[in-house]
Amino acid sequence: MNNEFDFITKVGRLVVKYPSDFFNSVAIAQACLESGYGQSELAKQANNLFGYKAKRGEWDGETYLKESPEEIKGAIHIMRSTFRKYGSWEASVKDHAKMLSRSDWYKNYYRKAISAKTPEEQAKALVNTYATDSKYAEKLIDIINYYGLKAYDEFQKGERPMTKLTMQQAAAKLGLKLVVEPLPLTKTFGRINRKQGIVIHQTGAPGVGQNARAMANYQRNMSDPNNPEQKSWNYQVDDTQAIMSFDHDVATWQSSDGNGPGNMAHISIEKCINADGDYNKAFDNLAKLCACICYVEGFNPSAKIKRHYDFAPDKKWCPAQIMNGKNGLTYQVLKDRVNKYLGILNGATVGHNPQGLQATKTVKYTAPELPFKPLKVGDKVTLSKGFLWLDPSKSELLLSKRQKELELTTDIIAEIKDIPDVNNSKIAYRLKKYNSWILEEYLLEPKADWKIVDEENKEDSKKTEKLPDGHFIWNGKEYKIEAVK
pLDDT tens digit sequence for 26-70: 999 999 999 999 999 999 999 999 999 888 888 989 999 887 666
Residue 162 domain-assigned (yes or no): no
Position 195 scores a pLDDT of 94
Question: In the prediction, which pLDDT does 56 show?
Answer: 83
Q: In 3D, which of 141, 131, 185 has the Cα closest to residue 23?
A: 141
The boundaries of the domain holding residue 64 are 4-156
Question: Lowest-pLDDT range, 207-216, 225-234, 297-306, 367-376?
Answer: 367-376
If asked whether residues 173 and 123 sit together in one domain, one would say no
Mean pLDDT, the chain, whole residue set: 86
Whether residue 189 contacts residue 251, with contact meaning beta carbons closer than 8 Å, is answered with yes
Question: 389 and 479: one domain?
Answer: no
Does residue 457 have a pLDDT over 50? no
pLDDT value for 363: 80
> Does residue 475 lie within any of the structural domains?
yes
Which pLDDT band, with edges at 50, 70 and 90, does 157 fall under?
very low
Paired with 389 in beta bridges are 398
Cis status of the peptide bond prior to 354, with omega within 30 of 0? no
Domain boundary among 345, 372, 398: 345
**Does one domain contain both 218 and 265?**
yes
- The verdict on residue 325 lying in a domain is yes
Q: What is the pLDDT of residues 96-131, one digit of tens each?
A: 999 998 888 888 899 999 988 889 999 999 998 988
Mind listing the pLDDT tens digit for each residue in 397-443? Answer: 988 888 888 899 999 998 888 888 788 898 999 998 888 899 999 99
Q: Which 3 state secondary structure label does DSSP give 239?
A: coil
- Any idea what the CATH number is for the domain that residue 86 is in? 1.10.530.10
Q: Rounded CA gap, 77 and 72, in Å? A: 7
Residues 341, 205 share a domain: yes
135 in a structural domain: yes
Q: Which of 298, 303, 286, 265 is nearest to 338 (CA)?
A: 286
CATH code for the domain of 277: 3.40.80.10
* Domain-located, residue 279: yes
3-state helix vs strand vs coil in the chain, percent to 5: 35, 20, 45
CB 440 within 8 A of CB 450: no
- Identify whether 456 is part of a domain: yes
User: 215 and 304 in one domain?
Assistant: yes
Does residue 185 belong to any structural domain of this protein?
yes
Which uninterrupted H or E stretch holds 137?
helix 136-146
Q: Are residues 52 and 145 in the same domain?
A: yes
- Which pLDDT value is given to residue 458? 43
Q: Find the mean pLDDT for residues 341-362.
A: 71
Residue 96, phi then psi, degrees to nearest 5: -60, -35
The verdict on 196 and 219 lying in the same domain is: yes
Cβ 291 vs Cβ 341: under 8 Å: yes
Number of domains present in the structure of the chain: 4
Q: Is residue 161 part of a domain?
A: no
* Domain co-membership, 138 together with 172: no
Give the predicted TM-score (pTM) of the model.
0.60
Q: How far is CA 370 from the centre of its chain?
A: 38
The reply to whether 150 and 277 lie within a common domain is no
Residues 22 and 139 in one domain: yes
For residues 181 and 298, state if they share a domain: yes
| pLDDT value at residue 267 | 98
Which DSSP symbol is given to 130?
Answer: T
